[in-house]
């Protein structure tokens, strides 16, 4: 932009003469409104104007007092800013060869003598002016070319990608520094080298240039790209690259090759692939890697008509070791286990850790099922040797399930399920042993799958309903509230026992979806019962361990309370001891948030889990529910009675309400009254009732009539 303005400016003439009348005369001759005229009456003034303005041509009088024209010309020649400005000497002195040479030496272009011919003066000035403007134009263009050359040279030299320029015969004519560095040679070594001898496109070999993919695309004026090409350095080293070739624009006949070093991305890709299939703790395959390997093994066995076996191992008592000695000890044990499993199997067998303390093995190319049994026995014998961890010798056993192909299944899911079922069979029959998948187990597996599918449909079609079991206050028989209990009303089988479907909900992960539905339902029901029951009547719901561990639980509860316009104290959430202990810090945060809002918290089935009295102090709770097993035995077992009495007394000292579950006889009721239990629920008062029957339940009971 600046250069264009520089070329469009009017030419500027500087007239230098010590006589004013001469300046007036010169200005009158040369002023045509197409140029700018500046005037100076001595050398000092002339030099000052030269430094202040962009002068095109100087008309300089030779004879001046003080600093003459030769001195002005000499000083102009010495200054880089003014040395290229042409000088036309004006003099009244007759031509003298010595003076003329002196003037030319100091930068004079020509002379004009007084008295001058005005037409000749105009012509000379016009020619010199045009020459100077042309010179400036060339200078500007050269400067632009130099800048562009420097700019593009900098781009090429600093580019991280290798860049080659190749002629139409395939010979390399230019290589930027990155290309030379990647190919480990200098430009002189690369010049003249054939591109197709250095670059190999995917699925191609070194062939004649005219048959190469590079030449074929260049001839069709197309760009060629390859993400997994290879370059070979002149020394023969292989370099994986991403490569692009594009034809040069006309009139150049050739192509530009740009390539990027792929060694680091390829190495990272290999590492990511390895990480994706490897267990970071043991170095064995992880679940993903194992399933891939099993699929490949099944395909090979199918083609070769050779049987294979899958072994599913679960360590017996690992959780006890982990909880007692800590996770670092547990991790060390798992690593020792992994090493022993490697030693017990063949080099071509696949050993994997699925997670936790579960391991799997694929035994390829078996002759008979007894081969798998021999490996299982070898593993059990290996585990019989105690493992020393933290100075302790630990005896570890494993339960092993074995599924064979093609007897048990012909696909990955079927083999895994069969081996898993067999492992649980081994565990249920005493642990520390192996079991094969049997036909009977297969039948149970099919029944389980059918039940699981029905369960998923029940979730989708909302076959679940809530029944409500009343809770009665001991002080006066008033209704404290209801515990909502989940029931499955199957469309064909009728009412399904919770003991059957709740574990399946847990295993399939559907429990969180159902759990959220339960909370939403009881909030809705509590709002509908707004005028039917007193305001302080409570509805309780059980939270599964999986649901309690969800980060969005608190937000869901608060949203439903607001949506149904309930008081927080009208909702009670029941949590088991094991749920609280999964993550103590998370449990404390959730309980604090819920209780701060006013939601009541109950520990359900207290006494069947960890049963640490410290939890009553550590966790913020409102209610403690004593498990029905203690209540059932309290009248016949002094130990159970002592436990219940101690729990009631301790809870009262901590300002925690006590609810006794499973009260079925008047004798149990009377005894609970004597020890000061706050609240009771059980079959003595009612089973879990459908919603319409629960609405008719009396607000107060007379215990004497029970």
Concatenating the DSSP letter of every residue in 81-149 gives: TTTTS-EEEEESSPP-HHHHHHHHHTTEEEEEESSPPHHHHHHHHHHHHHHHHHHHHHHHHHHHHHHHH
Q: Is 246 contained in some domain?
A: yes
245 with 222: CB under 8 angstroms? no
Position with higher pLDDT, 624 vs 114: 624
18 with 152: CB under 8 angstroms? no
Residues 246 and 322 in one domain: no
pLDDT of residue 205: 60
pLDDT greater than 50 at residue 610: yes
Q: Is 273 contained in some domain?
A: no
Residues 557 and 667 in one domain: yes
CA distance 541 to 537: 14
624 with 651: CB under 8 angstroms? yes
Among all chains, which residue has been given the structure tokens 């520094």?
177
Residues 601 and 478 in one domain: yes
46 with 40: CB under 8 angstroms? yes
384-405 confidence digits (pLDDT tens): 888 888 888 888 889 999 999 9
Assign residue 507 the CATH number of its domain: 3.20.20.450
Q: Is 90 contained in some domain?
A: yes
pLDDT of residue 599: 94
Q: Which of 390, 410, 437 is the last residue of a domain?
A: 437
Degrees to nearest 5, angle at CA 439 with 434 and 440 = 85
pLDDT greater than 80 at residue 559: yes
Q: Is 282 contained in some domain?
A: no
Q: What proportions of the chain, in percent to the nearest 5, are helix, strand and coil? A: 50, 25, 30
Assign residue 381 the CATH number of its domain: 3.30.70.270
Q: Which residues, in sequence order, are CB contacts of 370 under 8 Å at separation 6+?
A: none
Q: What is the DSSP letter of 700?
A: B
pLDDT greater than 70 at residue 549: yes
| Mean pLDDT value of segment 669-677 | 94
Residues 479 and 415 in one domain: no
Q: Is 560 contained in some domain?
A: yes
CA distance 702 to 472: 11
Assign residue 245 the CATH number of its domain: 3.30.450.20
At residue 290, the 3 state secondary structure works out as: helix
- What is the residue range of 608's domain? 452-696
Q: What is the DSSP letter of 248?
A: P
pLDDT of residue 642: 92
362 with 297: CB under 8 angstroms? yes
369-384 confidence digits (pLDDT tens): 778 888 888 998 888 8
Among all chains, which residue has been given the structure tokens 């192909």?
405
CA distance 518 to 483: 11
Output the average pLDDT for the chain: 84
Residues 259 and 303 in one domain: no
Residues 247 and 320 in one domain: no
- Among residues of the chain, what percentage have pLDDT more than 70? 91
Burial of 174 from C-beta contacts in 10 A (0-12 / 13-18 / 19+): middle
120-159 confidence digits (pLDDT tens): 888 888 888 888 787 878 777 777 776 666 666 666 666 6
Q: Is 288 contained in some domain?
A: no
Nearest CA to 651 out of 686, 613, 699, 619 is that of 613
Residues 248 and 371 in one domain: no
pLDDT greater than 60 at residue 236: yes
Residues 358 and 459 in one domain: no
pLDDT tier at 5, thresholds 50, 70, 90: very low
Nearest CA to 331 out of 357, 311, 349 is that of 357
Number of domains in the chain: 4
| Mean pLDDT value of segment 553-566 | 93
294 with 414: CB under 8 angstroms? no
pLDDT of residue 608: 63
pLDDT greater than 50 at residue 190: yes
Residues 191 and 247 in one domain: yes
Burial of 342 from C-beta contacts in 10 A (0-12 / 13-18 / 19+): middle
**What six digits make up the tokens of 411?**
């696909």
pLDDT of residue 8: 58
pLDDT greater than 90 at residue 682: yes
Q: Is 154 contained in some domain?
A: no
Residues 561 and 689 in one domain: yes
pLDDT of residue 3: 46
First to last CA, the chain: 104
Residues 505 and 617 in one domain: yes
pLDDT of residue 78: 85
pLDDT greater than 70 at residue 623: yes
34 with 129: CB under 8 angstroms? no
pLDDT tier at 199, thresholds 50, 70, 90: confident
Q: Is 274 contained in some domain?
A: no
pLDDT tier at 100, thresholds 50, 70, 90: confident
Q: Which of 393, 411, 437 is the last residue of a domain?
A: 437
């Amino acid at each position: 932009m600046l250069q264009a303005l520089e070329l469009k400016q009017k030419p500027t003439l500087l007239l230098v003469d010590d006589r004013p009348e001469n300046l007036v005369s010169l200005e009158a001759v040369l002023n045509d409104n197409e140029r700018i005229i500046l005037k100076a009456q001595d050398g000092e003034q002339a030099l000052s104007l030269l430094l202040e303005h962009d002068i095109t041509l100087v008309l300089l009088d030779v004879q001046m007092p003080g600093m003459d024209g030769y001195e002005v010309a000499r000083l102009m020649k010495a200054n880089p800013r003014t040395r290229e400005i042409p000088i036309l000497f004006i003099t009244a002195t007759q031509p003298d060869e010595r003076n003329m040479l002196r003037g030319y030496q100091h930068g004079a272009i020509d002379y004009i003598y007084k008295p001058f011919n005005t037409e000749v003066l105009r012509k000379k000035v016009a020619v010199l002016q045009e020459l100077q403007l042309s010179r400036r134009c060339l200078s500007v263009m050269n400067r632009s070319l130099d800048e562009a050359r420097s700019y593009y040279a900098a781009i090429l030299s600093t580019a991280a990608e290798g860049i080659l320029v190749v002629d139409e015969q395939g010979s390399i004519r230019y290589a930027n520094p990155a290309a030379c560095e990647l190919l480990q040679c200098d430009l002189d070594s690369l010049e003249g080298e054939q591109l197709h001898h250095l670059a190999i496109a995917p699925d191609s070999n070194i062939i004649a240039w005219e048959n190469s993919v590079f030449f074929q695309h260049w001839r069709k004026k197309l760009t060629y790209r390859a993400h997994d090409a290879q370059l070979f350095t002149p020394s023969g080293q292989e370099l994986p690259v991403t490569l692009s070739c594009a034809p040069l624009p006309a009139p150049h006949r050739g192509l530009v090759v740009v390539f990027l070093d792929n060694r680091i991305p390829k190495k990272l890709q290999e590492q990511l692939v390895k990480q994706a299939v490897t267990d970071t703790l043991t170095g064995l395959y992880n679940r993903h890697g194992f399933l891939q390997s099993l699929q490949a093994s099944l395909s090979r066995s199918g083609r070769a008509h050779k049987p294979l076996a899958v072994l599913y191992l679960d360590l017996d008592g690992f959780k006890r070791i982990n909880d007692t000695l800590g996770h670092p000890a547990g991790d060390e044990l798992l690593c020792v286990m992994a090493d022993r499993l490697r030693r017990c199997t063949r080099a071509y067998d696949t050993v994997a850790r699925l997670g936790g303390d579960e391991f799997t093995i694929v035994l390829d190319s078996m002759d008979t099922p007894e081969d798998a049994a021999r490996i299982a026995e070898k593993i059990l014998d290996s585990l019989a040797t105690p493992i020393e961890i933290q100075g302790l010798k630990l005896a570890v056993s494993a339960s092993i399930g074995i599924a064979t192909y093609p007897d048990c299944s012909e696909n990955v899911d079927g083999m895994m399920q069969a081996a898993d079922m067999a492992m649980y069979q081994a565990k249920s029959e005493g642990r520390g042993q192996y079991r094969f998948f049997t036909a009977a187990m297969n039948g149970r597996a099919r029944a389980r799958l059918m039940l699981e599918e029905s369960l998923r449909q029940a979730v989708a079609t909302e076959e679940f309903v809530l029944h409500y079991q009343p809770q009665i206050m001991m002080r006066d028989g008033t209704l404290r509230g209801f515990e909502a209990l989940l029931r499955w009303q199957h469309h064909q089988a009728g009412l399904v026992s919770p003991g059957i479907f709740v574990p399946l909900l847990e295993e399939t992960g559907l429990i969180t979806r159902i759990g959220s539905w339960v909370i939403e339902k009881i909030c809705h029901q509590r709002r509908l019962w707004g005028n039917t029951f007193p305001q302080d009547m409570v509805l309780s719901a059980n939270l599964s361990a999986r649901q309690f561990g969800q980060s969005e639980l608190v937000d869901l509860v608060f949203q439903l309370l607001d949506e149904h316009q309930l008081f927080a104290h009208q909702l009670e959430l029941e949590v088991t001891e094991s749920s609280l202990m999964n993550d103590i810090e998370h449990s404390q945060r959730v309980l604090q948030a819920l209780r701060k809002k006013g939601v009541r918290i109950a520990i359900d089935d207290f006494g069947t889990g960890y049963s640490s009295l410290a939890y009553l102090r550590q966790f913020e709770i409102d209610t403690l529910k004593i498990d029905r097993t203690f209540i059932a035995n309290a009248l016949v077992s002094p130990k159970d009675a002592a436990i219940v009495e101690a729990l009631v007394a301790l809870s009262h000292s901590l300002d925690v309400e006590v609810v006794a579950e499973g009260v079925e006889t008047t004798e149990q009721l009377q005894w609970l009254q004597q020890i000061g239990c706050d609240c009771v629920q059980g079959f003595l008062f009612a089973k879990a009732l459908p919603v319409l029957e629960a609405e008719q339940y009396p607000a107060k009971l007379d215990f004497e009539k029970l």
